[in-house]
Amino acid sequence: MRYEFILAEKVSATTRDAFPELAESTLLPGRSGTVMFGPVIDEPNLHGLLDRFQDFGLTVVEMRMLPD
């Protein structure tokens, strides 16, 4: 499975490095924030990522499963 996470904040390079399993993409022009996406092995892995976003003070605005 792959998931996409849309975050309300712009992610710094240091924070970005804390998520090596995720790639980063840009949002549409006129929108702020960060899009990160990548593989999610199972439900505990998904919850772990969400916990890590929270630990870094990031707000997940939207998340969705991507087609493989």
Domains in the chain (CATH in brackets) are 2-66 (3.30.70)
In this prediction, residue 1 carries a pLDDT of 93
pTM metric for this prediction? 0.90
Virtual torsion, Cα 5, 11, 14, 19, nearest 10 deg: 0
Tens digits of residue pLDDT in 35-54: 999 999 999 999 999 999 99
Tens digits of residue pLDDT in 5-39: 999 999 999 999 999 999 998 776 778 899 999 99
Distances (CA, A) of 14 to 26, 33, 47, 57: 17, 16, 21, 13
Helix boundaries (H) for the chain: 13-17, 43-55
What's the chain's Rg over C-alpha atoms?
A: 11
Under a CB-based contact definition with an 8 Å cutoff, are residues 61 and 4 in contact? no
